Structure formats: C-alpha cells, structure tokens
Structure 1
C-alpha cells in the first residue's frame, strides 16, 4: 500500500543556524537576486544555472581542502536546498552560505519565506516532495530557523584545515 501523496509530518526540526566551530577553514556566501513573480516567489532558475554554479563552487572549495569523500553528498544537499529556495522563496533573492570547519561542512540557504519547509512522505509515483527527505537522510544534522526563512544542514568530516 502506498503512502499518501503529500502526508506532511512534524519531523521538520526547528533550530537556529549553527554557529560554525572555530577555526573556520573556508567560507563562501552569496545573495542571488532575481525578479520576484507576482505571488512574491523568486523567478525560477529555468536552466538550473544557479544550482549548477553553486554546486561547482562548493565542489571547488571541498577539493581545495581535500574533502573529496563528501563531495557528492554536499553537491546533492546544495542542489536540494537551492532548488527548494528557488521554488518557494520570496522577496526576489536567496542567500547561500557554505562553511568548512575542522569538524565539517555547514550549508545554509535563506529563501526569505516565512512559510516553514515541511518534510513530506510521498509515494513512488510522486514527481516532487523528496528534497527535504534526502537532506534528512544524508546530513548529520539539519533544521529550519525559528522564523522559517533559513534551511540548513551539516556534515561531519575528517579534519579539513591543515
């Protein structure tokens, strides 16, 4: 028997974006601006340009610190969080932050929307709704800021700074 198409769960954790542990080896932050649609959501990244750019930047940062073993996971997390922000964001811009510390990697995406992201249970025929499920499955920790505007996740790694 299949699950309900979008049965929402209460499993979306509320927690402030973690303060990265010292020392910070590397940090990259950018605000991506675009024209807002009439309903306030960010204009769609039709060609996936920002998703691809941020995946490539993240990969280059990880490669520079010898963190190739987590590259695939980080790129998938970046893809899911940026895609959700582009799909549901408001105010015409999103913020992306990647922080590499001795303990791991922090990814935080602010979409400007107070609508709280929700972890959903979907059936095998659903075409959407798996993004946060993948984030929850891959990340060591994740959450949504109390105001609902920022979704973040962390991955633990072997020491990165040399």
Structure 2
C-alpha cells in the first residue's frame, strides 16, 4: 500500500485545527484530481463537470462511514459541495484537486483550484441565486482558510465540536417547535 506524504502546508492546517496544536494522527488520506471544463457561455459549470460534485460527496460519505463518522456526513457533504463547486467555478487551469484527510479528532477538506485569486466571504443579496458558499463553509466548519499563494481553500471539522453543535441545534429546534403553555 502506497502512503501519500502530506505537504507541509496541509500539516500546518491540520495543526491549526487541532485543539492541542499538535498534528493529529492521520487515519486516512484521499486525493482526487478532477478534470475541469471551462464555464458555459452563461457562466455555469458544465454538467459533465458538475457530476463530479455528487461523486466526490458519495466518496466522502463512504470514507466517513468506514471510520464510524456517519454523524458528520451531512456537514461534510455540504462542505465538499461548496469547496468543489467553487473550485470548478472559480479555478484556473484544466484540473482541480480535492483532498480529504481524516485524522484522530479532526477532518480536513481542501480544494486546489490553481487560481491565485483569494476567495472571500461576501454578502449575497436576498434575491441572489449564488454567493453563499463560503458563508456556509464559515458557519459549518470549525475553521477554514486559504493557502498563502491563494490556490488552495481548506476547512476543518472537529468531530466532537460538530457533535456538540448538532446537539445544541437539535435542542434549539425543539425549543422553537415546542408549543408554549
């Protein structure tokens, strides 16, 4: 079995997302290089490229299930959708690379889209059909950032933190839905 070496910036991103500032033990590492077609005349991602977003989500779900992290599937699939779609939409070159690192107590997702234009949070108008991707990443991920050269966007999830968030979210929803007496 071949073992892929993690580059220094990915290791630093893992360290940043870890509460003890130590590099967590890497349990699983996935790297997929995907062909990127140019946007259509309307500025949309071509359907032959967009189909990869769903495929990568399913691969992510399978990896999490194998490692007993099924509770994170919904959040991870949403994060994968946003990062990969942004890579296809805003990247440069013919490929993007998606990486998923499952560590002890930490998950890292990263997309290298080859573009040096740094993604930024923006305030999408209420009528806008797009522009909320990084807002969702910011809301769901434990941390997120962009590599120093702007080509890679990453986010982390801390499984224990996500579990607490889910419990708080469920409790809040129950309280909102509970009839008042």
> Quick one: distance in 1 between partners of 2:136 and 2:100?
18
Larger Rg: 2
More strand per residue: 1
Aligned length, in residue pairs? 139
Secondary structure of the residue aligned to 2:57 is helix
Of the two structures, which has the highest relative contact order with CA contacts closer than 8 Å and spacing of 6 or more? 1
- Matching residue within 54, 61, 76 for 1:52: 54
Hey, what does 2:137 align to over in structure 1?
135
RMSD: 1.9
More helix per residue: 2
Give TM-score, length-normalised by structure 2. 0.71
> Quick one: distance in 2 between partners of 1:136 and 1:22?
22
Hey, what does 1:9 align to over in structure 2?
none
Hey, what does 2:74 align to over in structure 1?
72
Could you tell me whether the CA contact under 8 Å between 2:142 and 2:155 is conserved in 1?
A: yes
Q: Which stretches of structure 1, 4 residues or more, deviate above 6 A after TM superposition? A: none
Give unmatched runs, 5+ long, in structure 2: 1-8, 16-22, 161-181
Going from structure 1 to structure 2, the CA distance change for 1:34 and 1:121 (only over 3 Å counts) comes to closer
Secondary structure of the residue aligned to 2:31 is strand
Secondary structure of the residue aligned to 2:60 is helix
Hey, what does 2:112 align to over in structure 1?
110
> Quick one: distance in 2 between partners of 1:115 and 1:71?
29
- Matching residue within 27, 31, 52 for 1:29: 31
